[in-house]
């Protein structure tokens, strides 16, 4: 019996040894390892999920992470990727807030270890206290979809949960899960298909609205909550798309018409204004941090020019009186992008009122298919804009949102392979400078992202885990009972 | 004998049934795919069902495997009914009613193969249960029923009464006690399903939780036959012993009845279902058996569907006969050549194939993707993945191509193809070694050209002008003009054929001759105005057509005779 125990112990030791080989006689290389994801030089918040990464062609990876201030952690599980312990990683990031963590990477190939140049990851003193991010997952396709769902992911771990999966709402399209300033207790999402509805859930109370009226051109589309929680600004878009045979751009999504308005959740009325329902196209409304202004994008009907490359949107604003639910009597043009030959979409004011983040592209209302699309930041004090060069890439960046403390942004980008939108995070300092963006961490990133057939859409931070009674909700969706919204001017 | 019948039915008479099931799934080896299936109730049965269906890729092998599965089901029913009736002399024949019923049920193409597999697994579990010691049986079921529910889903309801009957037979538990055990078993199933619905399957509807997630391809539907099949399995096991089969004529009568049921429920049902024309033609399109597509559509004009029209035009084009023969087949309008995608898997699958051969890479990709997304049970399809991987590779996006070929590499029958693609990613020069890929690469458009469905003929003309080897593009352009009745544009484009030489004909194709004859006639010309390349036969036919039209436009000869299969008839009917 004792012999058996010794044998077993020996076997366990041997296994442990073989799983955690310490590099011996490593050849020094004065370059960074070929990593996926590329986390070298990124800025992260404390307590983010471990930044596991794969080293190209490595049979085994050994990584030592040493804090600039204190602490260290080793990823030496004998895998082809650095797999950090979650608790150990969190502790290391907390210990080194405001300093860097230095990673020394060794990779084993053909029995020979190579040690690469050490690189740093800066741990920002600005926290990211949110629980996680919400997003839609859908295959990057054209006209149809099957496995579609709204999901949430804890950013401190690798846990992902469905908010609504396709198995619950079979055959229905769902989009635009948007919370009020990342507050999971107030959110809305649209259901499209045979049973359309706009769900508004406040403190667990669900309301399913029919937002189609005789006075408006379409259902409510792109939403943005008023900070008070009483209003949601929407655009109404008659969306169409066309396809190209070119290899660089395959799809152009465009509007045939669009307006903007505000939904009053107290009265379930749409607040209309002639200034936001012109023959021009108004889209992507967003309330300012104080709720007194609505930023939106507007374009002349592109059909007047007849070409898709003439679709160019300006950034405008209109006052909003939350007390009386009234829209202002004039529109201000903030950035006349169309005159400068480009288009602005997706304005997103930071919650501290300092900045406004937006997408630019050479043309288009839907930059997701435009590789030249980038993120720009408008300083609302100086009204000067600059590109977030460190966060941008050669691929399209779009559908961005702020963390509650306005120090972190999440956005979707196709930079990885040109097809799938993935989630990236970047730190924005008080002067509006962005850090190099980092990809949403995964336990085994190469395996996860190689096998991922979906795109991430409309990401946003969420302070808490979203709680939706999905089965009751599905019953209500298929039950077709809706509250019809009214209209007031 | 039953094996032979099933083998002939699927392997020789209806290989398209096998192909239909195989091409709308993507079974992959590896722990990830297995674990994905074990993550929901009934997942194991679905997994094994898909494992079996992958062999349908080779029709004869698939038919043999499926016939073996059906026979195994029959034999299992027989063995269990012998146990329960405590008779060793029970004939096998009644037990074969079960696989026969399955065959009839599965004429409905949405009835998934996983369901009979699941019933076999439930009966096997009951067989294994009979070896559990009597004292442990009640406790064993507390584990077995929830476990079986998780692995098989709904068909645990087949296991429960059979297990209860085995208790009665093996250990002389009273009938009343057996019934109580059965009822408790059903309650355990309900509790298991409810627990699952509140925990791990929060995002599934109750129908899927109680009746199985993937036993029927259409969502939100549980066909009555699914319940009938489950009930039949239970009744055959429990009551076969009571059948009066000892009488002299009983067995022959039953055998004749079964043959009749097979003929009416299977053979006739397959034949009378027009949907199977689509499935059959698509099977041949998938195999690129163009002659068989043409032959089938030629022989079965009464089974014309939206898809078969698209497919036969594609087949004719692939054989270089489009302009010669297309009006010998029913044509509707432009969509007969280029199908409109209509959120249905077959609405544009043939068009996706046509775009592939024409070199319209992005459009082909789009239609393959959208067609796949219309598969009713949300499965991915090996056929579409295969094409998408090819097309992404041809476009030079090897990383994305690998996303689609990696799953293929984990299959039994597509792995060689996937490895061929992988070799091309590593060394793109190998793409040009494949004649078809090389051709598509030469044909594809590199400019920023919009795919405008209103001006497809211009797009096709552009393809031809970009590369004169792309004769199919020119044929599509001209034939679209004919289908649209746009003879002005047809005449402008016609010189591109260089008197038919570019389309590979010695003579001008028949449809073009007919169109030109028609135009000259419409413009007030006479037989003397016809160009010399209009053949005497066409002139003669046209004279006959004009005569009949002036006498009686609805006469039999114009409606069903050879003149009905001309462009003249098409264009006059369209107007």
Domain span at residue A34 reads 23-123
Together in a domain, A303 and A371? yes
**For A64-78, A374-388, B312-326, B521-535, which range has the lowest pLDDT when averaged over its residues?**
B521-535
Q: Are residues A417 and A303 in the same domain?
A: yes
Query: β-strand A220-225 against A205-210: which pairing, if any?
Result: unpaired
Select from A247, A369, A478 the residue whose CB has the most chain B CBs within 10 Å, as the one to mutate to test that interface: A247
Do residue A292 and residue A378 come from a single domain? yes
* Same-domain check for residues A141 and A101: no
What pLDDT score was predicted for residue B218? 86
Residues A186 and A49 occupy one common structural domain: no
* pLDDT in the model for residue B502: 64
Q: Among B202, B213, B369, whose Cβ lies nearest the Cβ of A142? A: B369
Establish if A489 belongs to a structural domain: no
Higher pLDDT, A375 or A167: A375
Q: Do the beta carbons of residue B96 and residue B104 sit within 8 Å?
A: no
Mean pLDDT for the stretch of residues B460-469: 90
What's B196's DSSP letter? H
- Interchain CB distance below 8 Å, B202 and A470: yes
Chain B residues lying within 8 Å of A146, measured CB to CB: 373-375, 378
Q: How far apart are CA B539 and CA B277, in angstroms?
A: 36
Top residue of A56, A144, A245 to mutate, by most chain B CBs within 10 Å, is A245
List, for residues B135-158, the tens digit of each pLDDT value. Answer: 888 888 899 999 999 999 999 999
Q: What is the 3-state secondary structure (H, E, C) of chain A?
A: CHHHHHHHHHHHHHHHHHHCCCCCCCEECCCCCCEECCCCCCEECCCCCCCCEEECCCCEEEEEEEECCCCEEEECCCCCEECCCHHHHHHHHHHCCCCEEEEEEEEEECCEEEECCCEEEEECCCCCCCCEEEEEEECCCCCCCCCCEEEEEECCCCCEEEEECCCCCCCCEEEEEEEECCEEEEEEEEEECCCCEEEEEECCEEEEEECCCCCCCCCEEEEEECCCCCEEEEEEEEEEEEEECCCCCCEEEEEEEEEEEEEECCCCEEECCHHHCCCCEEEEEEECCCCCEEEEEEECCHHHCCCHHHCCCEEEEEEEECCCCEEEEEEEEEECHHHHCCEEEEEEECCCCCEEEEEEECCCCCHHHCCCCEEEEEECCCCEEEECCCCCCCCCEEEEEECCCCCEEEEEECCCCCCCCEEEEEEECCCCCECCCEECCCCCHHHHHHHCCCEEEEEEEECCCCCCCHHHHHHHHHHCCCEECEEEC
Whether pLDDT at A3 is above 60: no
pLDDT at position A176: 79
Instruction: Identify the pLDDT of residue B241.
Output: 74
Under a CB-based contact definition with an 8 Å cutoff, are residues A207 and A199 in contact?
yes
What are the pLDDT digits (tens) for B237-255? 988 877 776 667 777 888 8
Per the CB < 8 Å rule, is A144 touching B444? no
More confident residue, B315 or A13: B315
Selected residue of B391, B406, B407, B448 to mutate for chain A interface (largest A Cβ count, 10 A): B448
Which residue among A147, A244, A308 sits closest to B362, beta carbon to beta carbon?
Answer: A244
Asked whether residue A207 carries a pLDDT value surpassing 80, the answer given is yes
Long-range contacts of the stretch A12-16 (C-beta < 8 A, 24+): none
Label residue A21 by pLDDT band (50, 70, 90): low
Question: What chain A residue is nearest to B376 in terms of C-alpha separation?
Answer: A146
Please state the ipTM of this predicted complex: 0.89
Which of B31, B203, B444 is the best residue to mutate to test the A interface, defined by the most A CB atoms within 10 Å of its own CB?
A: B203
Of A102, A123, A144, the last residue of a domain is A123
A232: β partners: A225, A263
Q: Which residue of A has its CA nearest to B448?
A: A246
**Band (B77; pLDDT cuts 50, 70, 90):** very high
Please state, in angstroms and rounded to a whole number, the distance separating the CA atoms of residues B419 and B429. Answer: 15
Structure tokens at A17: 């040894």
Give B469→chain A minimum CA distance, Å: 19
For testing the chain A interface, which of B397, B403, B453, B463 should be mutated: the one with the most A CBs within 10 Å? Answer: B403
Share above pLDDT 70 across residues of chain A, in percent, rounded to a whole number: 95
> CA-to-CA distance for B543 and B208, rounded, in angstroms?
64
| Total domains in the fold of chain A | 2
Report yes or no on A484 lying in a domain. no
Which chain B residue has the Cα nearest residue A248?
B448
- The CATH number for A81's domain is 2.60.40
pLDDT band per the 50, 70, 90 thresholds, residue A305? low
Domain membership flag for residue A138: yes
A357 and A429 share one domain = yes
* Overall average pLDDT of the B155-170 stretch: 90
End-to-end, the C-alpha distance of chain A in Å comes to 87
Confidence at A7, pLDDT banded by 50, 70, 90:
very low
In the predicted model, is pLDDT for residue A194 greater than 80?
A: yes
Asked whether residue A15 carries a pLDDT value surpassing 50, the answer given is: no
Confidence of residue B383 (pLDDT cuts 50, 70, 90): very high
Residue B505: per-residue pLDDT: 61
Same structural domain, A285 and A399? yes
Query: Which residue in chain B is spatially nearest to A414 when comparing CA positions?
Result: B400
CB-closest option in A143, A166, A243 to B378: A166
Mean pLDDT of A281-288: 97
Check: CB of residue A393 under 8 Å from CB of residue A415: yes
Rounded Cα distance between B244 and A228, Å, is: 79
**CB contact (8 A) between residue B208 and residue A451:** no
On whether any CB of chain A is under 8 Å from the CB of B219, the answer is yes
Residue B57 forms contact with A (CB below 8 Å):
no
pLDDT at A16 over 60: no
pLDDT of residue A33: 92
What residues in A contact B203, CB-CB < 8 Å?
Answer: 149, 162, 164-165, 167-168, 470
Percent of chain B with pLDDT over 90: 57
Mean pLDDT of B6-33: 93
Which residues in chain A have Cβ-Cβ distances shorter than 8 Å to B216? none
- What's residue A17's pLDDT? 43
Q: How far is A39 from chain B (nearest CA, A)?
A: 20
Average pLDDT over every residue of B130-136: 84
State the CATH number of the domain containing residue A461. Answer: 2.120.10.30
Q: Are residues A145 and A191 in the same domain?
A: yes
Residue of B nearest to A452 (CA): B403
- Our CA-based measurement puts residue A450 at a distance from the nearest CA of chain B, in whole angstroms, of 6
Tell me, yes or no, if B403 comes closer than 8 A to chain A by beta carbon.
Answer: yes
Lowest mean pLDDT of A157-166, B6-15, B141-150, B440-449, name the range: B440-449
Q: Summarize the confidence of residues B158-162 as an average pLDDT.
A: 94
Residue A459 sits in the same domain as residue A417: yes
Which of A168, A170, A244 is opposite residue B449, by nearest beta carbon?
A: A244
Identify whether the C-beta of residue B294 lies closer than 8 Å to the C-beta of residue B314.
Answer: no
pLDDT tens digit sequence for B423-434: 999 999 999 999
Q: Which of A325-339, B22-36, B185-199, B228-242 has the lowest mean pLDDT?
A: B228-242
Same domain as A118, residue A148: no
* B199 in contact with chain A, both atoms CB, cutoff 8 A: no
Q: Does B400 touch chain A (CB under 8 A)?
A: yes
Contact A244 B402 (CB under 8 A): no
Give yes or no: residues A181 and A311 share one domain.
Answer: yes
**A59, A89, A123 — which closes off a domain?**
A123
Binary contact (B451, A147; C-beta < 8 A): no
Cβ contacts (< 8 Å) between A249 and chain B: which residues?
Answer: 448
Asked if B222 is an interface residue toward chain A (Cβ–Cβ < 8 A), one would say no
> In A260-280, which positions are buried (b, 16+ CB within 10 angstroms) versus exposed (e)?
bbbbbbeebbbbbbebbbeeb
CB contact under 8 A, A245 and B361: yes
pLDDT at B504: 62
pLDDT of residue B359: 93
Distant-in-sequence, close-in-space partners of B107: CB < 8 Å, separation ≥ 6: B265, B266, B269, B270, B273
In chain B, which residues have their Cβ closer than 8 Å to the Cβ of A149?
A: 203
Q: Rounded mean pLDDT of chain B?
A: 90
For the cut 70, the answer to whether the pLDDT of residue A6 exceeds it is: no
Q: Is residue A17 part of a domain?
A: no
Final residue belonging to a domain, choices A92, A123, A154: A123
Residue A450 and residue B197: Cβ atoms within 8 Å? no
> Looking at beta carbons, which residues of chain A come within 8 Å of B444?
245
- Look at residue B199 and give its three-state secondary structure: coil
Asked if the Cβ–Cβ distance from A141 to B373 is below 8 Å, we say: yes
Indicate the pTM of the whole model. 0.91
Candidate from A149, A246, A419 with C-beta closest to B400: A419
Q: Is the pLDDT of residue B399 over 70?
A: yes
Q: How far is B288 from chain A (nearest CA, A)?
A: 25
pLDDT of A14 above 80: no
What residue has token string 């260089």?
Answer: B498
A287 shares a domain with A315: yes
Mean pLDDT computed over every residue of chain A: 92
Answer positive or negative: Cα dihedral of B421, B427, B428, B432: negative
Q: Strand A27-28 and strand A384-387: pairing?
A: unpaired
Residue A444: band (very low, low, confident or very high) from pLDDT cuts 50, 70, 90: very high
Look at residue B396 and tell me whether its pLDDT is greater than 50: yes
pLDDT digits (tens, 9 = 90+) for B519-566: 888 888 777 778 888 888 998 888 888 888 888 878 888 788 888 889
d(CA B229, CA B352) in angstroms, rounded, equals 38
Residue A345 Cα, gap to closest chain B Cα (Å): 23
Q: What is the pLDDT of residue B272?
A: 79
Residues in chain B with CB shorter than 8 Å from the CB of A244 are 362, 448-451
pLDDT at A2 over 70: no
Residue B289's Cβ-side half-sphere holds a number of Cα atoms within 13 Å equal to 12
């Amino acid at each position: 019996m004792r012999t058996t125990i010794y044998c077993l112990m020996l076997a366990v030791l041997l296994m442990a040894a073989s799983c955690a080989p310490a590099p011996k006689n490593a050849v020094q290389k004065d370059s960074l390892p070929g990593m996926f994801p590329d986390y070298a030089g990124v800025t992260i918040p404390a307590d983010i999920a471990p930044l596991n990464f794969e080293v190209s062609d490595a049979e085994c990876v050994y990584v030592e992470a040493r804090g600039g201030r204190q602490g260290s952690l080793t990823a030496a599980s004998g895998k082809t990727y650095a797999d950090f312990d979650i608790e150990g990683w969190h502790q290391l990031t907390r210990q080194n807030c405001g300093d860097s963590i230095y990673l020394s990477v060794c990779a084993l190939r053909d029995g020979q270890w190579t040690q690469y140049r050490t690189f740093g990851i800066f741990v920002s003193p600005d926290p990211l206290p949110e629980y996680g991010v919400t997003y839609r997952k859908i295959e990057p396709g054209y006209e149809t979809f099957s496995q579609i769902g709204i999901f949430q992911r804890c950013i401190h771990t690798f846990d992902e949960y469905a908010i609504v999966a396709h198995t619950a709402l079979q055959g229905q399209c769902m989009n635009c899960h948007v919370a009020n300033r990342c507050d999971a207790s107030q959110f809305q999402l649209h259901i499209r298909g045979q049973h359309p509805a706009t769900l508004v859930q406040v403190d667990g109370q669900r309301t399913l609205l029919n937002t189609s009226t005789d006075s408006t051109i379409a259902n409510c589309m792109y939403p943005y909550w008023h900070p008070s929680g009483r209003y949601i600004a929407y655009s109404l878009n008659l969306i169409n798309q066309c396809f190209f045979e070119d290899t660089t751009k395959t799809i152009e999504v465009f509007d045939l018409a669009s307006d903007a308005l505000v939904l009053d959740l107290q009265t379930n009325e749409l607040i209309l204004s002639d200034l936001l329902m012109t023959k021009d196209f108004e889209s992507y409304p967003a309330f300012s941090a104080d709720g007194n202004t609505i930023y939106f994008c507007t374009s002349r009907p592109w059909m007047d020019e007849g070409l898709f490359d003439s679709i160019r949107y300006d950034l405008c604003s209109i006052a909003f009186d939350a007390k009386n639910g009234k829209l202002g009597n004039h529109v201000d043009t903030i950035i006349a992008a169309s005159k400068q030959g480009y288009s602005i979409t997706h304005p997103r004011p930071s919650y501290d009122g300092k900045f406004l983040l937006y997408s630019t592209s050479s043309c288009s209302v839907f930059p997701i298919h435009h590789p030249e699309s980038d993120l720009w930041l408008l300083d609302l004090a100086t009204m000067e804009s600059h590109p977030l060069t460190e966060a941008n890439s050669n691929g399209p960046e779009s559908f961005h949102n702020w963390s509650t403390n306005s120090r972190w942004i999440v956005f979707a980008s196709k930079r990885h392979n040109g097809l799938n939108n993935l989630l990236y995070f970047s730190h924005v300092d008080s002067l509006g400078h962005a850090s190099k963006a980092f990809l949403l961490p995964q336990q085994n990133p190469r395996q996860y992202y190689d096998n991922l057939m979906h795109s991430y859409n409309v990401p946003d931070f969420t302070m808490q885990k979203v709680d939706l009674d999905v089965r009751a909700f599905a019953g209500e969706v298929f039950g077709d009972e809706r509250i019809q919204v009214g209209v007031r001017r | 004998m039953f094996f032979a019948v099933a083998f002939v039915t699927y392997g020789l008479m209806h290989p398209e049934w096998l192909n239909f099931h195989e091409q709308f799934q993507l079974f992959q080896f590896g722990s990830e795919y297995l674990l994905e299936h074990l993550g929901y109730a009934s997942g194991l049965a679905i997994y094994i069902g898909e494992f079996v269906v992958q062999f349908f890729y080779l029709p004869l092998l698939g038919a043999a495997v499926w016939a073996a599965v059906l026979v195994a089901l029959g034999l299992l029913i027989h063995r269990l009914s012998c146990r329960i009736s405590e008779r060793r002399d029970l004939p096998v024949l009644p037990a074969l009613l079960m696989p026969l019923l399955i065959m009839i049920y599965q004429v409905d193409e949405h009835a998934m193969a996983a369901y009979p597999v699941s019933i076999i697994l439930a009966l096997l579990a009951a067989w294994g249960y009979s070896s559990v010691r009597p004292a442990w049986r009640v406790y064993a079921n507390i584990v077995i029923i929830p476990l079986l529910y998780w692995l098989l889903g709904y068909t645990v309801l087949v296991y429960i009464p059979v297990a209860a009957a085995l208790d009665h037979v093996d250990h002389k538990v009273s009938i009343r006690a057996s019934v109580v055990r059965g009822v408790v078993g059903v309650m355990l199933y309900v509790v298991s399903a409810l627990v699952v619905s509140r925990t791990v399957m929060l995002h599934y509807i109750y129908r899927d939780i109680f009746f199985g997630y993937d036993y029927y391809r259409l969502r939100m539907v549980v066909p009555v036959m699914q319940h009938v099949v489950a009930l039949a399995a239970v009744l055959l096991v429990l009551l076969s012993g009571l059948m009066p089969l000892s009488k002299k004529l009983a067995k022959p009568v039953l055998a004749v009845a079964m043959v009749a049921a097979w003929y009416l429920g299977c053979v006739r049902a397959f034949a009378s279902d027009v949907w199977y024309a689509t499935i059959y033609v698509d099977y041949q399109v998938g195999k690129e058996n163009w002659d068989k597509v043409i032959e089938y559509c030629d022989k079965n004009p009464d089974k014309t569907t939206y898809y078969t029209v698209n497919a036969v035009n594609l087949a004719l084009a692939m054989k270089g006969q489009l302009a010669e023969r297309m009006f010998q087949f029913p044509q509707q309008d432009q969509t007969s050549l280029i199908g409109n995608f209509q959120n249905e898997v077959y609405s544009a699958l043939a068009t996706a194939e046509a775009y592939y051969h024409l070199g319209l890479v992005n459009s082909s990709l789009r239609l393959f993707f959208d067609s796949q997304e219309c598969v009713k049970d949300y499965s991915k399809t090996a056929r579409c993945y295969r094409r998408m991987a090819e097309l992404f590779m041809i476009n030079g996006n090897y990383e994305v191509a690998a996303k689609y070929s990696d799953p293929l590499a984990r299959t039994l029958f597509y792995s060689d193809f996937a490895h061929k693609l992988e070799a091309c990613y590593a060394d793109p020069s190998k793409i040009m070694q494949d004649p078809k890929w090389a051709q598509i690469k030469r044909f594809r458009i590199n400019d920023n050209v919009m795919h405008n469905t209103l001006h497809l003929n211009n797009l096709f003309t552009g393809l031809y002008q970009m590369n004169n080897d792309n004769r199919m593009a020119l044929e599509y352009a001209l034939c679209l003009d004919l289908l649209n009745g746009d003879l002005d544009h047809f005449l402008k484009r016609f010189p591109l054929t260089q008197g038919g030489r570019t389309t590979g004909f010695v003579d001008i194709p028949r449809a073009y001759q007919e169109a030109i004859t028609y135009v000259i006639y419409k413009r007030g010309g006479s037989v003397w105005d016809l160009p010399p390349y209009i053949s005497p036969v066409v002139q003669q036919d046209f004279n006959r057509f004009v005569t009949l039209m002036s006498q009686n436009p609805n006469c039999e000869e114009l409606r069903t005779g050879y003149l009905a299969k001309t462009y003249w008839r098409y264009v006059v009917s369209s107007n």
